[in-house]
């Protein structure tokens, strides 16, 4: 029973078991879930942050348990790390500037975050590749996606700074 619940957690309720591009489906499910939290259910950003922190902390042990007897230490079906990494730029966008975001603005931004996150998660620039290659445990599985999430944030900040000079 516990093992089944753990598998459901790390595969985002079986979504990671999709044979083709499970990470992409995990990222897509993440942005949909976060959109629902922020724009449909209108949950407070503090409540969402607590939820994300709980997921983050629990993920380390859940992934470790899942990969313990697995030869592959970063199996494709484990996609909770995509949820964590994808949540970083979206959460920071939602709490930024203390302004109201319209649903249309949010959808555009979520799509940009989705595309950029998948780009960095697949390309794996340093330090994403460092964590992916050198830590064959739950830490490596999760940290490469966290780095990819921060690359999205850094890219968007650079774009905003550069565009302010040209617009």
| pLDDT tens digits, 125-164 | 998 889 888 988 999 999 999 999 999 999 999 998 898 8
Q: How many helices (H) and strands (E) does the chain have?
A: 7, 0
Question: Does residue 22 have a pLDDT over 80?
Answer: yes
Rounded mean pLDDT of 87-103? Answer: 86
Note whether 23 and 79 are within 8 A (CB).
yes
pLDDT for res 1: 82
Note whether 152 and 82 are within 8 A (CB).
no
Query: Across the chain, what does the average pLDDT equal?
Result: 93
104 confidence band (pLDDT: 50, 70, 90): confident
Q: What does the angle CA 51 – CA 54 – CA 73 come to, to the nearest 5 degrees?
A: 125
pLDDT for res 98: 65
Three-state DSSP class for residue 42: coil
- Predicted TM-score (pTM) of this structure: 0.92
Note whether 135 and 60 are within 8 A (CB).
no
Note whether 35 and 97 are within 8 A (CB).
no
- Look up the domain containing 23 and give its range: 2-166
Q: How confident is the model over 36-71, as pLDDT tens digits?
A: 999 999 999 999 999 999 999 999 999 999 999 888
Distance CA 146, CA 156 (A): 16
Note whether 82 and 141 are within 8 A (CB).
no
Distance CA 87, CA 1 (A): 28
7 confidence band (pLDDT: 50, 70, 90): very high
Question: Does residue 16 have a pLDDT over 80?
Answer: yes
Of all residues in the chain, the percent with pLDDT exceeding 70 is: 98
20: left (phi over 0), alpha (psi -120 to 50) or beta: beta
Count the domains in the chain: 1
pLDDT for res 95: 92
Cβ neighbors of 10 (< 8 A, separation 6 or more) are 16, 59, 62, 63, 66, 77, 78, 79, 80
Distance CA 93, CA 21 (A): 26
Of all residues in the chain, the percent with pLDDT exceeding 90 is: 77
């Amino acid at each position: 029973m516990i093992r089944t619940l753990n598998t459901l957690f790390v595969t985002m309720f079986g979504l990671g078991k999709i044979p083709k591009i499970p990470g992409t489906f995990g990222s897509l499910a993440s942005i949909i879930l976060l959109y629902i939290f922020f724009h449909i259910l209108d949950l407070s950003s503090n409540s969402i942050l607590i939820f994300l922190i709980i997921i983050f902390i629990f993920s380390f042990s859940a992934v470790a348990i899942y990969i313990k007897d697995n030869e592959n230490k970063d199996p494709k079906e484990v996609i909770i790390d995509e949820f964590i990494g994808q949540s970083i730029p979206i959460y920071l966008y939602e709490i930024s500037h203390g302004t109201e975001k319209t649903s249309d603005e949010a959808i555009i931004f979520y799509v940009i975050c989705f595309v950029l996150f998948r780009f960095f998660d697949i390309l794996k620039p340093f330090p994403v590749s460092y964590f992916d290659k050198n830590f064959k445990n739950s830490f490596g599985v999760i940290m490469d996606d966290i780095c990819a999430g921060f690359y999205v944030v850094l890219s968007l900040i650079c774009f905003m700074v550069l565009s302010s000079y040209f617009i």
